[in-house]
Amino acid sequence: MQISGKTRLYGVIGDPIEHTLSPAIQNAAFAAMKMDCIFLAFHVKPAEVEKQSAACEAWASAELNVTMPHKNSVIAYLDQ
Q: Is residue 75 part of a domain?
A: no
Q: Quick one: pLDDT at residue 57?
A: 73
Q: So what's the pLDDT on residue 32?
A: 97
In a domain, 64, yes or no: yes
Question: What total number of domains does the chain contain?
Answer: 1
CATH code where residue 19 lies: 3.40.50.10860
Within a domain: 61: yes
- For every residue of the chain, DSSP letters joined together read ----TTPEEEEEEESS-TT--HHHHHHHHHHHTT-SEEEEEEE--GGGHHHHHHHHHHSTTEEEEE-TTSTTGGGGG---
Query: Is 45 annotated as catalytic?
Result: no
* 3 within some domain: no
Catalytic entry in 6, 34, 45, 71? 71
Question: Does the residue 65 lie in any domain?
Answer: yes
pLDDT per 10-residue tile (average), the chain, 80 residues = 88 93 97 96 89 74 81 77
Domain span holding position 33: 8-70
Distances, alpha carbon 9 to alpha carbons 40, 62, 68, 69, in Å: 8, 5, 21, 22
